[in-house]
Structure 1
Amino acid sequence: MRIHDYRAQHAAPVWCGGMLEFGIGRAHNVHLASLPNVSLPGDVSASERYFETELIGQPFAVDKTAR
């Protein structure tokens, strides 16, 4: 959060993405990507793409119909 806020104060956009996180890491990325200064395109993919067993129970999934 401090890095996000620092960059916002200096008009520097933020990028957030990931690749090999379990669901808890995905939740963190989704939270960060929702912040106002995260304005560069990022990538947050489904956790089930890389792991058969999910630590938080239900895997993060991508819904192509969501808007």
Structure 2
Amino acid sequence: NSKDVEKALKLFLSNYEKKTLFLEKEKWVSDLCSDNKLETAILRSKGFGDENPSYSNIYKAFEKFKQ
């Protein structure tokens, strides 16, 4: 449920708030992508393979943006 997702997000973004003011700021995105975290997330998602794909395959969108 959404409360569980919020708890999980706070593990990575301690100041996370489900509010427009927070989500409009670029800092939370750059924090999540710092230290090669985005590349690591993409590689992990790809690691599931075609037989057991990730839920959203969102990594495909990130790879397009990087091009």
TM-score category, normalised to shorter length: under 0.3
* TM-score normalized by the length of structure 2: 0.27
Report 1 or 2 for greater relative contact order, CA contacts < 8 Å, sequence distance ≥ 6: 1
